A and B are shown apart, each in its own frame.
Chain A
């Protein structure tokens, strides 16, 4: 069973501060995805990383896939209240029909 652990579970910061969310596993994944979920809605994909060591940037968000493809991080620079939400990482394994295993989520609150 592949398990993904996210840390921290909850993060409360002031607008303008930086934050990092971690996603760790003992398993190797074909891909690692980050989703953001708003209350009452389904998760929305932010990014997919597939190559070990890969770094992707999406405006103020920076995503990194570990060299061994077992872990990932999401860094937000100068957080804004609009970044508030539940961030979920999910590992995919092609050999298992691209089944996604989700982490427990990190709830981020950015106060104005």
Chain B
């Protein structure tokens, strides 16, 4: 069984479009994250939700809007996509105050 899953795996779209990426974890964790990994493999946190509440919101354009319908899901909606949004987006989850984060397989977003 997949612990942290993301859909889609690949997303190719035109500039200006709106798209969503979905994340689900079946680990029973209460905290979920979105990270962006650029072409140089630098991994940067974007958002974190704990029990459906936003707890970390890094300096991210407001075109990016996370939504957590329940503890097991954290989706990322991106409006008016730009070329610079092309990257791999990773979802991760964690339980309580433990340090370990479990990452999903990533969604490779390509904006043309």
Q: Which of B49-78 contact A (CB under 8 A)?
A: 50, 55-56
> Which residues of B pack against A, CB within 8 Å?
4, 31, 40-45, 48, 50, 55-56, 90, 92, 94, 97, 99-106
Does any Cβ of B come within 8 Å of A98's Cβ?
yes
| Distance, CA A45 to CA B4, complexed state (A) | 14
Chain A contacts for B50, CB-based, 8 A: 97
Q: Is the CB of B99 within 8 A of A97?
A: no
> Which residues of A pack against B, CB within 8 Å?
30-31, 33, 35, 37, 40-45, 48, 50, 86, 88, 90, 92, 94, 96-102, 104-105, 107
Known pairs A88-B43, A105-B42; A43 contacts B103 (CB<8 A): yes
In this complex, the member of B4, B50, B106 whose beta carbon has the largest number of chain A beta carbons within 10 angstroms is B106
| Distance, CA A94 to CA B31, complexed state (A) | 14
Chain B contacts for A35, CB-based, 8 A: 103
CB-based A-B contact count at 8 angstroms: 59
Identify the closest chain B residue to A37 (Cβ).
Answer: B41
Chain B contacts for A43, CB-based, 8 A: 43, 90, 103
Contact of B101 among A94, A96, A100 (CB under 8 A): A100
Q: Is the CB of B97 within 8 A of A98?
A: yes
Q: Is the CB of B43 within 8 A of A98?
A: no
Closest beta carbon of chain A to B101's beta carbon, Å: 6
